[in-house]
Structure 1
Amino acid sequence: MAHSSNSNDIINEAKKTDLPTYTIRQISNLYKLPASTLRYYEDLGLLTDVVHTASGARIYNQSHIDRLGGIMCFKRTGLSIAKIRQFYLYEEHMEDHAHDISQMMIDHEQDILNQIEELQNDLVHIREKVRYYAAVEDAIKKSEPIPEWHQFFANEKNKNENNGCKN
């Protein structure tokens, strides 16, 4: 953990410069994260230079908010905590690791593009389900036979081909 040797001086300095400070509860509410996760990120070194008051309260600032925004983005897009940690370690020594950071981001970008493609394929399937179950609902209302899944899409395909439309 990053404890300041003179927390009061840092807090007082922040107040003098009108830099906003935040409690763990405020940050927790802002990011909808449990306080234990913020402490964990601090223990891992993802959140650095967190000021601790004499009573042990944590004081966060805008740099922590900015860092958490990055962490949350990386997490939402599937980057592991280990890789997030590696990214920030590389960033601390950017001169030696610019290529490593660039390659990590290129790889992650490709992973995200692959995820998007998979999600788009899944969305097509979900949309087919929506259309099918709307047709089932309609058939029930009209007291007609419920269409079979494969029959429904064979009929849909034939209709589209007859209308000059392609799937």
Structure 2
Amino acid sequence: MTVAQVAKSKPSNTVNCADSETHLRPDGQDQYTISEVADFTGLSAHTLRWYERIGLMPHVDRSHTGQRRFSNKDLDWLAFVGKLRLTGMPVADMVTYAELVRAGDQTFAARQALLESTRVDVVNRIAELQDTLTVLDHKISTYACAHRAPERTA
């Protein structure tokens, strides 16, 4: 699919209500420490604490000793936040989205609008990157032709 086709396409209407993601532990036994989550996600423990402090993470359960205990649901949320980060969405917008999620189903329209706006930004970035790739390919081709040694005739 070309960038133009992506830009003109509408978001997929495919609904996948069942999570097919695999987790390290089954639900009910999904008690991950912050260091396990850091290893699994590639995020630092500092970043995970910061996400919680700014309201980007929902409330994380604690053990009887006060240590954070993350669940599969938390891992799924962090995976989604990682995708939002890749879109270039500002952290403030991610926090707004998280607040809307916590506010409940009545915020579906606002969440959809925020994600649709982000989608437009992503499509525009893809187009910019495609243009940049075209320029790079042209320059690479130019250099490849310039480095070819002239054929010698005997």
TM-score interval, smaller chain: 0.7 to 0.9
**Counterpart of 2:134 in structure 1: which amino acid?**
V
Closer, same or farther in 2 for the Cα pair 1:29/1:136, shift >3 Å? farther
Identity percentage of aligned residues = 25
Q: Which of 115, 134, 137 lines up with 1:127 in the alignment?
A: 137
Q: CA deviation at 1:20?
A: 1.9
- Which structure 2 residue ranges, 5 or more long, are not aligned? 1-26
Please give the residue correspondences for 1:45-64 in structure 2 after superposition, counting only pairs within 5 Å. Answer: 45-64=55-74
CA distance in 2: counterparts of 1:143 and 1:57, whole angstroms: 72
Q: Are residues 98 and 117 of structure 1, via their aligned partners in 2, closer, same or farther at CA, if it must alter by over 3 Å?
A: same
How far apart, CA to CA, are the structure 2 residues paired with 1:31 and 1:130?
36
Which runs of 5 or more structure 1 residues have no equivalent in the other structure?
Answer: 1-16, 145-167
1:118 to 128, 138, 145: 128
* Higher mean C-alpha deviation, range 128-137 or range 30-39: 128-137
1:30 corresponds to: 40
Structure with bigger helix share is: 1
**Corresponding residue of 2:147:** 137
Name the CA distance, whole Å, in 2 between partners of 1:118 and 1:100.
Answer: 27
- Map 1:11-26 onto structure 2 (within 5 A): 18-26=28-36
TM-score of the superposed pair, with normalisation by structure 1 = 0.68
Using CA pairs under 8 Å that are at least 6 residues apart, name the structure with larger relative contact order, 1 or 2. Answer: 2
Instruction: State which drifts further: 65-74 or 22-31.
Output: 22-31
SS in 1 for 2:147: helix
Q: CA deviation at 1:22?
A: 1.2
Q: Deviations over 1:28-63 (max 9, x none)?
A: 112211110000001112222312334442211101
Is 1:77 matched up with 2:84? no
Measure the CA separation in 2 of the matches of 1:128 and 1:31. 38
- Alpha-carbon separation, structure 1, partners of 2:99 and 2:37: 23
What's the TM-score once normalised by structure 2's chain length? 0.73
